[in-house]
Amino acid sequence: MQIRVYSLYVGMLLAVTVLGCSKTEPEKAFSTSDVEQLLLDHPELSEPREGSEE
């Protein structure tokens, strides 16, 4: 009986580990069109800052 209980615990632990470690893609905060519109509305954002090296 104890072997079955331990097997159940190991199986549940394995399932939680596999589900918890699955890859998830990061969600995008902005779409490309949002960024393009922001640059059109605020052209100073697309200009490099003074003193920054490229």
Q: Each residue of 2-32: pLDDT tens digit?
A: 788 888 889 888 887 777 666 777 777 767 7
Task: Give the pLDDT band of residue 54 (cuts 50, 70, 90).
Answer: low
Q: Which residue has the tokens 């509305």?
A: 41
Q: Measured between alpha carbons, how far is 20 from 10 in angstroms, rounded to an integer?
A: 15
* Residues 45 and 38: beta-carbon distance below 8 Å: yes
Residues in Cβ contact with 54 at an 8 Å cutoff, skipping those fewer than 6 apart: 48
* Residue 3, pLDDT score: 83
Q: Which residue has the higher pLDDT, 52 or 4?
A: 4
Q: Measured between alpha carbons, how far is 30 from 38 in angstroms, rounded to an integer?
A: 10
pTM of structure: 0.35
Task: Give the pLDDT band of residue 39 (cuts 50, 70, 90).
Answer: confident
Q: Which residue has the tokens 């890859």?
A: 23
